[in-house]
Structure 1
Amino acid sequence: MSPFNSRKHPLVILLFALAINGSVWGVNLALADEQIGAQDTKQDSVAIEDQSWSLYGQLTNITQRHGSFNAPYSGTNSLSPQGPTVETTDATLFIGRRLWQGAEVWLNPEIDQGFGMNGTLGVAGFPSGGAYKIGENKPYLRVPRLFLRQSIDLSGELNSVEAGPNQFAGHQATNNVIVTVGKFAVTDIFDANSYAHDPRADFLNWSIIDAGAYDYAADSWGYTYGGAVEWTQDWWTLRFGFFQLSPVPNAKIARVNFGENSTNIEFEARQNWLNHPGKVKLLVWDNQARMASYRDALVLAQQTKTISDVALVRRYSSRPGVVLNVEQELSPTVGAFARLSADRGDKEAYEFSDINHSLSAGVSIKGASWNRADDTVGIAGVVNRISGDAQHYLAAGGLGVLVGDGALNYAPEKIAELHYSWHATSYAAVTLDYQHITNPAYNQDRGPVSVYGLRLHANF
């Protein structure tokens, strides 16, 4: 491993220190078509709907290490029983431009560096939401998002919209339609949850920040091409999305081609339980692409007396699934969430992870009661499972997207996560994170594993 993965890069420490001191952060640009002077009174006179440019940025560094654990054997995709300290760093700009009434275009150039533990292999519910399936020792530039958003007001009261990354300040009618087209993350729109969805701010585990069995369209970094329509009426929202899958499972997307595709439909209902807001979402999806049946891979391996390999038996087929996603404020400082997700389990995971059934739940607690109103404590747990077909495939030596020990003594993968996020300033936060993983990669012959994490996050 490069030294870049075993200690903090000097640039990361410098930028984060500047964020805490407030020397360079706190810049929030909103420029009108006409030149805006330096005087505050002149800035305040510009209506928010006339602000035509927006610029935000963020820097996040996540460092993790796991303790040693019992591992009588290991396979190609196994988590190493004694892995080094690793880190990931990403720095992003959120550049927005208003085009015409209700239309915005957003560009998010990003610099990434680093690796997840063991090259992002060895645990189905992977412990770092900042880790991609592709890593590099040296920083590299890419563009994860470039999309157009069109908002159409229908009727109802006008509500204020706060400015933020990929969002202009303004007003929006209660009843509206929003159309998004371009390159972005499917989870920017689908399967969102106020308490568990952002690895830069809340939990880190993949199967806690997203529904574990949700095999959403994504390249190796988590982004894809497609479009979504959101129709909101009073207490409900209906979403429809059509997205491009990778040309083969778990691969890069080099060009736009919807021959392999994913259809997503989500219904959201909002309510106030004892005067506390909450949401219930039901999401269904269907992936259409060349993918393998676990049984076909096993049959071929028996016939040829070789190790099972899904890559040899792929054919065009379907893989549907469902997610139930619930969030509920319990008090002004406490919120709870839960997700239940499942897919049919007869075919290989295509994009996300080797999970066929998942149940996660947790709470998020703000620190007002100990005079740290911006601090947050998060506690969550998840149980991930795979189908019988997937169990037989892994037991025969097959490899999944993230898992494959060469053998399998099956048990559900169980993960608990605890984090404390300390907000040093309104622009910078330090998070301590701990995860306990029982039966990593569904194998009770290996583990349990303790994962220790430190996250540094700054925004401007």
Structure 2
Amino acid sequence: MILKHFFILLCCLCSFSALAQKAGSDADQIASVDQEINGIPTEGIFLGLPANVHGQTTYINQRYKPFNSPYQGQNSLLPDKSMSYTWSGTLFFGARLTPNTDLYFNPEVVSGVPFSSLAGLGGFSNGEATRAQGAQAHFYSARAFLRQTVNLEGEQVELENEANQISQIVSSNRFVFTAGQFATLDIFDDSRYAKDPRVQFMNWGNMTYLAYDYAADSRGYGWGLAGEWYQDNWVFRASRMTTPATPNAQPINWHIFSAYGDQIEVERGHFIGDLPGKVSVLGYRNRMTMARFTDATNYVIANNAQGTQALVNVRNGMQIKTGIGINAEQALTKDLGVYMRAFTSDGHTETMSFAEADNSLSIGAGITGDRWGRPKDTIGVSTMLNGISSNRRAYLQAGGISNFVGDTPSPYAGPNQSLSYKPEQISEIYYSFLVTKGVLLAANYQHIINPAYNSARGPVNILSYRIHAEF
């Protein structure tokens, strides 16, 4: 059934591509595809406006064999042999309303079944799994936003035609404003080597900092306003985004002046010889109704509530959550680069939108296949170390569970076992193979020690394959 969905969408994408090419051909009567309108190269013309269309579809299949598990709880990774999959399809529509104003819209469809209903790991194994809600396909708007560019004096920079970017000549010194529905990670914490689970590493800890509790709904999107200031090799970014109505929920809280996620980032690019690199520092501050771990721990103990999500009983009033991290990457040769991410959050409150982690470290490398005559192939190797705060640890050890983790069984389900804490360690390696233009096939392996910070369970070995197609 999933492969049927995959090929149906692939056919749809090919049809859209053919229509786009025909539209571009018809538009030749008005303007050549290579013609410049107000100095801006265009991909095609739609209703008299420069426009483009792209698409992607991705299928990920993951499996693991039984692993050591002397006990398990409601939010444990199930120890039996398991299979998980996700499938997504996205169309990226763009139109240039004025020479410096773009409008983008991304309808998306997703289906899938994650491991253990998305429970039992800090660094979950599939970055697409946050959007999966079962085998039935779900359609929704992923992005719908305006982008305004204000060019200042500086060198000219060409932005190429790609998803959510109509080709454009901009200044190296400019302001860029984004408003509407988009993902916080569209703007912040970019990485050349570890960013997109559809084409690179799959684990959450390689999408971004695992301990970065960025504002988003349960699918990873939100509404807000972001500003970027490009000043030669410096970039300054800031945004305010909506929060979910309750932690890790789909409905949005629209009261953005009372409940919000703020972030700010400073990035500096550089060259060592002719090899690019960059360093960025990111901080965030969330404000919404969340539970404090100390309150939840007291509730578990006072009410003998082991094996329950006591957090929901102590969500009283607005709480503040903060964190800060650093991201560094450097090309060592033209086909080899390394990266490092490190982050820490204050750890006083529950997770708002992302992963169950309060500190995280990831180190890795990306390699292209130039040396063996496959320049479009890539290899990635990475290791991650994830930890939780003393407050979160005390809550789990007392017998509480949270959105994604909690190995303590209910008192009525057998022996009362609690967290045997150790940091979660994850190693990941993948090879992505170009089958033909626009189609990638990848194999991925993840080795997870101390899943969900519990040394009594695991290790877990996850094998995956991925098919990705785009135009």
TM-score higher than 0.5: yes
Partner of 2:238, secondary structure, is: strand
Inter-partner Cα distance in structure 1 for 2:53 and 2:131: 28
Work out the CA distance in 1 between the residues paired with 2:5 and 2:206: 30
Asked whether the equivalents of residues 366 and 380 of structure 2 are also in contact (C-alpha less than 8 Å), the reply is yes
Give 2:446's aligned amino acid. Q
Alignment of 1:182-331 (within 5 A): 182-254=180-252, 256-258=254-256, 259-307=258-306, 309-314=310-315, 315-331=317-333
Q: How does 1:347-358 map to 2 (within 5 A)?
A: 347-358=349-360
Structure 2 counterpart of 1:154, from 152, 155, 165: 152
* Residue 180 of structure 1: aligned partner: 178
Once the two structures are superposed, the pairs formed by residues 54-65 of structure 1 within 5 Å of their partners are 54-65=52-63
Shift of 1:208: 1.4
Q: Which residue of 2 aligns with 1:119?
A: 117
- Written as runs of structure 1 = structure 2, the 5 A alignment for 1:90-129 is 90-129=88-127
Structure 1 contact 239–266 (Cα < 8 Å) conserved: yes
- Answering whether residue 465 of structure 2 is matched by residue 454 of structure 1, we say yes
Which residue among 418, 423, 439 is the counterpart of 1:428? Answer: 439
After TM superposition, give the deviation of residue 29 of structure 1 in Å: 3.8
Distance 1:240 1:32 in 2: 38
Give per-residue Cα distances to partners, 1:233-291, cap 9 Å, x unaligned: 11201001001111111111246331321110000011112321111000010011111
TM-superposed CA distance for 1:13, in Å, is 4.5
Q: Which residue of 1 aligns with 2:5?
A: 11
The 8 Å contact of residues 63 and 463 in structure 2, kept in 1 or not, is answered as: yes
Q: 1:198 to 1:38 in 2, by over 3 A?
A: farther
Alignment partner, residue 43 of structure 1? 33
1:394-419, Cα deviation, whole Å (9 max, x unpaired)? 11221122111112100100000000
**Cα distance, 1:186 vs structure 2:** 0.2
Q: How many Å separate the matches in 1 of 2:221 and 2:126?
A: 17
User: Distance between the aligned counterparts of 1:398 and 1:342, measured in 2?
Assistant: 22
Cα deviation for residue 100 of structure 1 reads 1.4
Aligned to 2:130, the other structure's residue is in SS state coil
Query: How far 1:37 moved relative to its partner?
Result: 3.7
* 1:156 counterpart SS class: coil
Residues in 2 aligned to 1:159 and 1:418: alpha-carbon distance in whole angstroms:
34
1:294 partner amino acid: F
- How far the C-alpha of 1:306 sits from its partner, in A, is 2.6
Q: Which runs of 5 or more residues in structure 1 are unaligned? A: none
Distance 1:67 1:452 in 2: 9
Whether contact under 8 Å (1:353, 1:401) holds in the other structure is: no
Q: Counterpart in 2 of 1:336?
A: 338
Is the alpha carbon distance of 1:43 and 1:319 closer, same or farther for their aligned partners in structure 2, counting shifts above 3 Å? Answer: closer
Judging changes above 3 Å, is the alpha-carbon distance between structure 1 residues 358 and 255 closer, same or farther for their aligned structure 2 residues? closer
The more displaced of 280-289 and 393-402 is 393-402
Cα offsets for 1:191-228 (capped at 9, x unmatched): 11111000111000001121011000011101011110
- Does structure 2 conserve the Cα–Cα contact (< 8 Å) formed by 1:31 and 1:53? no
Partners of 2:53 and 2:133 in 1: CA distance: 27
Structure 2 letter corresponding to 1:44: D
Aligned-partner Cα distance in 1 for 2:103–2:32? 26
Output the CA distance in 2 between the equivalents of 1:287 and 1:30. Answer: 44
CA distance in 1, matches of 2:145, 2:25: 25
Range with greater deviation from structure 2 (166-175 or 82-91): 82-91
1:149-180 C-alpha deviation (Å, 9 max, x unpaired): 00110111111110000001010101000000
Task: Please tell me whether the aligned partners of residues 30 and 54 of structure 1 are also in contact (alpha carbons under 8 angstroms).
Answer: no
Could you say what the CA RMSD is over the residues aligned between the two structures, in angstroms? 2.3
The alpha-carbon distance between structure 1 residues 36 and 208, as it changes in their structure 2 partners (threshold 3 A), is same
Are the aligned partners of 1:325 and 1:340 in contact in 2 as well (CA < 8 Å)?
yes
Please report how far the alpha carbon of residue 11 of structure 1 lies from its aligned counterpart in structure 2 after TM superposition: 3.4
Q: Give the distance between the partners of 1:297 and 1:429, measured in 2 at CA.
A: 46
Counterpart Cα distance in 2 of 1:195 and 1:27:
32
1:413 aligns with 2:424: yes
CA shift digits 1:342-399 (9 cap, x unpaired): 0111211111011011000100000011111100010001000001111111112211
Partners of 1:281 and 1:324 within 8 A in 2: yes
Q: 1:83–1:118: 8 Å Cα contact kept in structure 2?
A: no
The one-letter code matched in structure 1 to 2:27 is I
Secondary structure in structure 2 of the residue aligned to 1:132: helix
| d(CA) in 2 for partners of 1:221, 1:272 | 36
CA distance in 2, matches of 1:350, 1:42: 49
Distance 2:434 2:336 in 1: 17
Cα distance change of structure 1 residues 30 and 216 upon mapping to structure 2, 3 Å threshold: farther
Equivalent-residue separation in structure 1 for 2:202 and 2:110 (angstroms): 17
User: What displacement does 1:30 show?
Assistant: 7.8
Give the count of matched residue pairs.
Answer: 450
Partner in structure 2 of residue 389 of structure 1: 391
Q: 2-side partners of 1:38 and 1:90: how far apart?
A: 36
- Report if aligned partners of 1:218, 1:245 keep a CA contact under 8 Å in 2: yes
Deviations 1:116-151 (A, max 9, x none): 211111111000011116512111210011111001
Q: Distance in 1 between matches of 2:459 and 2:26?
A: 60
1:308-363 deviations in Å (ceiling 9; x for gaps) = 61111123121100110111111110111110000111211111011011000100
TM-score, L = length of structure 2 = 0.91
Taking the aligned partners of 1:234 and 1:338, their CA distance within structure 2 comes to 23
Q: Is the 8 A contact 2:282 2:325 kept in 1?
A: yes
More displaced, 82-91 or 284-293?
82-91
Contact 1:238 1:266 in 2 (8 A): yes
SS of alignment partner, residue 303 of structure 1: helix
Asked if structure 2 preserves the Cα contact closer than 8 Å seen for 1:383 and 1:414, the reply is yes
Deviates more, 1:291-300 or 1:383-392: 291-300
Whether 1:376 and 2:378 are equivalent positions in the alignment is yes
Equivalent position SS for 1:288: strand
Does the 8 A contact of 2:378 with 2:433 survive in 1? yes
**How far off is 1:63 after superposition?**
0.6
Q: CA deviation at 1:299?
A: 1.5
Distance 1:238 1:222 in 2: 23
